[in-house]
Amino acid sequence: MVTSKDVAARAGVAQSTVSYVMSGKRSISPETRAKVEAAIAELTYHPNAGARALASNRTSVIGLVVSMSRTTEMAGLLPFIEAITSDARVRDHDIVLVTEEAGTASLERLSGRSLVDAIILMDVHLHDARLERAAQLAVPVVLIGLAEDNHGLDAVDFDFEAAGIMAAEELLDRGYTRVVVIGEPPEVNVRAYGFIAGFERGALEACHRRAAEAEVLRPAAPGWNAFLAEVSEQIGKARTSRVGFIARTPQTVAWVLQLLLIGHLEPGRDVGLVGMCTDEDSETFSTPVTNVSPRPREVSYAAMNRVFELLDGAEPGGQIQLIPPRLTRRCTT
Amino acid sequence: MVTSKDVAARAGVAQSTVSYVMSGKRSISPETRAKVEAAIAELTYHPNAGARALASNRTSVIGLVVSMSRTTEMAGLLPFIEAITSDARVRDHDIVLVTEEAGTASLERLSGRSLVDAIILMDVHLHDARLERAAQLAVPVVLIGLAEDNHGLDAVDFDFEAAGIMAAEELLDRGYTRVVVIGEPPEVNVRAYGFIAGFERGALEACHRRAAEAEVLRPAAPGWNAFLAEVSEQIGKARTSRVGFIARTPQTVAWVLQLLLIGHLEPGRDVGLVGMCTDEDSETFSTPVTNVSPRPREVSYAAMNRVFELLDGAEPGGQIQLIPPRLTRRCTT
DNA sequence: GTGAAAGCGCTAACAC
DNA sequence: GTGTTAGCGCTTTCAC
C-alpha cells in the first residue's frame, strides 16, 4: 500500500506537506506542490479512509437509512436513492445504505461507530418512534418526510397538499366538473403517513373552493378486483358528465388507464386523469399521463444541502422545507 | 466519545482485554468478561470504525457498484440492492452504494482508499471495459452478470437461457402451440447484454425441440404505440390458434395484459402468458401472471456468499454460478 | 513555506 | 489468562 510517507519520501518533503498539499489548508510553494503532485500521480497514491477518519473525525460518508418493508411502495424510493448517491459523489462523499424495517439500531451503529458524518432518514411516518433517539445522536440527522413531532430535527418533504390542489385544479381548469380521487385500500395505513391524507385534503379542498363535486374512492381491498369494482362504477358516470380522476400512485394510474381502455373511453377526451408519479413513469404508460411529480431529485438535493449546511456548522432548528409540486400537462387532460 | 480505554479503566483491565472480549480472539475468564461487558453496556461503548479499520485492515464494509443509467430498467435493481444490504447486516457488514454510469473511478476509489473489504459489481455487460481494472484491484470483486471475458473474476448470474426454456415449456405443456416472445425495441442494446439474447435463444430452442411454432417480435420503437402495432396482429391470430406470449419485463407483461383486455381475450383461457418478473410483480398485475422469477434474492445471496468466501481466503478462480429460474403457475397459463 | 512529532482509537504481536 | 506496547496512516499542532 502506498502511504503519504512514501509520497513524501519520493517528493523529498515531509509527510505533513503531502497532507497540506491535498487539503489546501496552508499555502504551498508552486515548486513543492508540483513535486508532491508528481509523486502522488507516479505512485497512484490514495489516502487511507480509516486513517483520515481517525485523525480528522470526518469520514466523508453519509448514512442513508430507508425502511424497505413494503415491497410495493419500495420502487418509489429508487429515484431518491439514486439522486442522493450521485449528489454525494459530486460533493466528494460516499453513501452507506442501510435498510431497516424499524428500530434505531442502525442509527446508533452508524453514529456510535463514527461510520458516518451525518444521516438522512427516509420514510418518516407520523408517529415515528425513531426520531427521539435520532435527535440525540452525535451526528446531524435530516429527515425526508414529516412526523407529527420532528423532535427538533430538520426535515425536507414534498408538498403533498399542494400536489393535491394542483392536480384538482388542473382537472377543473380543463373543464372536468367532477373530481374522483382514488384513495387507498384499507390495508394501507393511511394514519401512519400524513402525506396521503394531506394529498387527499388538498384535492378535496381545491374542488370545494371552486364548488366542484369531489369524492375520494376507497377500494375495499388491495388489488385489481376491488379497484375494478369500486372504480368502474365511476367510469359509467363519466359517459354522461365530465369526470376527472386523480391517481396517487403509478400502479393506480396504470389501472385507471386500463379501465378506460376496456370501457373504450379515451383519456384526455372522455375522461380526465392526473397521476402523481415521476415524469419517467408518466412517459412509459400507454398514454403519456398528465402528472404531478413528487420531484425526488429536488427533495433529495434539498436534504443533502441541509446535511452539508449542518456539517458546516449550521444549527439544527427543526426547520421544514417543503418542495413544491410541478405539473406537466400531457395527453390525459 | 467513549473509547476502549474508558471501558478498560472502568472494568479495571487492560485496553487489549477489551479488544479481545469483543473479538473473541483469545479466551477470557468469565469474571473479566462479565466486568468488561458490564462496562461496555454502562458506557454504551461503540468501537470506532476508522480506528478498527486502520489497525486491522478490515472495514466491514462492502462496496456495491451499480450503473443507474437507464431509469426504466433501474427499478429491477431494487430487489438486489435490498437483498444485498439486508444480507450484509446479517453478516455484520455495511454497504456503500455507488452509482456510476461507466468507468472505474469509484472502483479505484473504494479499493484505493481502503473504504471497503470487497466489491460487488452489478450490471456487467458483454464487453465491460471495467473488468480489466476490477481484476487488478487490491480487494476481491464479484460480478453480478456475465461478460464475454470475466478477466478471472468470480461471477453470479441468473440463468436466463434456462428461464427462456422454462417459460416456453410451460406454454407448450399447457397446450399453446404457438409461442411469441416479445423482444426489445431497437433502442435497447441487445448486443451489450448477453442475457437478453440468452433468454430468447432458450425460448426459441425449447420450441424448436418440441417442433412448436415460435417467433420473436421486435417492436420498431420503444413505447406503447409500437408495441401495440406489433403485438395486436398476433392477438388476432390468437383467436384461431392457441398462442402463448412470453414477456421479458414487467412493463411488457402489463402491456400484453392490457392488450388482451382491450381485445376481450381472457389470459389463461384464450391466450397464454408467461412473464419474467418477480413474484411481487406477478401478484400486482390485474391478473396474477404465471412468472419465471429472476430470483434477485438468490442471486444476491450467492454473490455475497462468494464475497465472504473470498474474504475468508478462497482463491478467485473466475468461477461462474448460475442461479436456476423458478416458475410459478398462476392464472395466465 | 516547511518539518518534526504527537496523537486519533484500535488490533495484535510479545511478554509473563 | 492478562498486561504492555508498537504500530496502522493520517491530521494538526508547534516550532523554525
B113 CA vs D13 C1’ separation (Å)? 25
User: How crowded is residue A165: how many other Cβ atoms within 10 Å of its Cβ?
Assistant: 22
**Quick one: what percent of chain B has pLDDT higher than 70?**
98
Question: How much is the pLDDT for A205?
Answer: 97
Residue in B with minimal Cα distance to A96? B96
Examine the pLDDT at B246 and tell me if it is beyond 90. yes
Look up the protein residue whose alpha carbon has the minimum distance to the C1' of C7.
Answer: A55
pLDDT digits 0-9 by tens, A229-267 = 989 888 888 888 999 999 999 999 999 999 998 888 999
3-state secondary structure A221-276: CCCHHHHHHHHHHHHHHCCCCCEEEEECCHHHHHHHHHHHHHCCCCECCCEEEEEE
Non-local (6+) Cβ contacts of B185 within 8 A are B218, B219, B220, B221, B222, B223, B226
Determine which of B62, B66, B82 to mutate to test the interface with A (most A C-beta atoms within 10 Å): B82
What cell numbers appear for B235 in the block? Answer: 392477438
Question: How much is the pLDDT for A72?
Answer: 55
Does residue A92 lie within 7 Å of nucleic acid chain C, judged by its CB? no
Question: How much is the pLDDT for A51?
Answer: 98
Instruction: Answer yes or no: are the C-beta atoms of A266 and A238 closer than 8 Å.
Output: no
Separation of alpha carbons B101 and A128, rounded Å: 35
Determine which of B3, B44, B48, B278 to mutate to test the interface with A (most A C-beta atoms within 10 Å): B48
Q: Which nucleotides of D are covered by protein (CB under 7 A)?
A: 1-5, 7-13
Phi, psi for residue A245 in degrees, rounded to 5: -100, 145
Separation of alpha carbons B272 and B233, rounded Å: 16
Looking at A14-28, B102-116, B117-131, B185-199, which range is the least confident one? B185-199
Confidence of residue B297 (pLDDT cuts 50, 70, 90): very high
Q: Mean pLDDT across the stretch A122-150?
A: 96
Examine the pLDDT at B189 and tell me if it is beyond 80. no
pLDDT digits 0-9 by tens, A282-325 = 999 999 999 999 999 999 999 999 999 999 999 998 999 999 99
What cell numbers appear for B103 in the block? Answer: 468507468
Non-local (6+) Cβ contacts of B34 within 8 A are none
DSSP state of B267: B
**Quick one: what percent of chain A has pLDDT higher than 90?**
85
- Alpha-carbon torsion, ordered B217, B222, B225, B227, to 10 deg: 20
What cell numbers appear for B223 in the block? Answer: 413505447
Question: How much is the pLDDT for A192?
Answer: 81
pLDDT digits 0-9 by tens, B215-232 = 999 999 988 889 999 898
Question: How much is the pLDDT for A49?
Answer: 98
Question: How much is the pLDDT for B70?
Answer: 61
Examine the pLDDT at A193 and tell me if it is beyond 90. no
Does residue B56 lie within 7 Å of nucleic acid chain C, judged by its CB? yes
Of the candidates A105, A78, A243, the one whose C-alpha atom is nearest the C-alpha of residue A171 is A243
Beta-strand relationship, A118-121 and A61-66: parallel
Question: How much is the pLDDT for A166?
Answer: 98
Predicted model pTM: 0.96
Cβ <8 Å between A113 and B49:
yes
Cβ <8 Å between A78 and B82:
no
Cβ <8 Å between B49 and A258:
no
Of the candidates B216, B219, B274, B214, the one whose C-alpha atom is nearest the C-alpha of residue B246 is B274
Residue-wise DSSP of B33-72: HHHHHHHHHHHT----HHHHHHHHS---EEEEEE----HH
Question: How much is the pLDDT for A283?
Answer: 92
Quickly tell me which residue has 394501507 as its cell: A188
Does residue A34 lie within 7 Å of nucleic acid chain C, judged by its CB? no
3-state secondary structure A172-186: HHCCCCEEEEECCCC
Looking at A169-183, A244-258, B66-80, B290-304, which range is the least confident one? B66-80
SS3 A118: strand
B15 CA vs D5 C1’ separation (Å)? 11
Question: How much is the pLDDT for A188?
Answer: 73
Question: How much is the pLDDT for B72?
Answer: 55
Confidence of residue A120 (pLDDT cuts 50, 70, 90): very high
Give B76 or A136, the one with higher predicted confidence.
A136
Q: Which of B85, B112, B114 is the closest to A99 by Cβ?
A: B85
Alpha helices in A24-158 (DSSP H): 30-43, 49-56, 71-74, 78-90, 105-112, 130-134
Q: Which nucleotides of C are covered by protein (CB under 7 A)?
A: 1-5, 7-13
Confidence of residue A71 (pLDDT cuts 50, 70, 90): low
Instruction: Answer yes or no: are the C-beta atoms of B310 and B281 closer than 8 Å.
Output: no
What cell numbers appear for B153 in the block? Answer: 473474476
Non-local (6+) Cβ contacts of A117 within 8 A are A58, A59, A60, A61, A62, A93, A139, A140, A311
C1' nearest to CA of A48: which nucleotide? Answer: D9
Confidence of residue B236 (pLDDT cuts 50, 70, 90): confident
Alpha helices in B98-174 (DSSP H): 105-112, 130-134, 160-173
Quickly tell me which residue has 384538482 as its cell: A168
Examine the pLDDT at A190 and tell me if it is beyond 80. no
Our CA-based measurement puts residue A211 at a distance from the nearest CA of chain B, in whole angstroms, of 35
**Quick one: what percent of chain B has pLDDT higher than 90?**
85
Cβ <8 Å between A96 and B95:
yes
**Quick one: what percent of chain A has pLDDT higher than 70?**
98
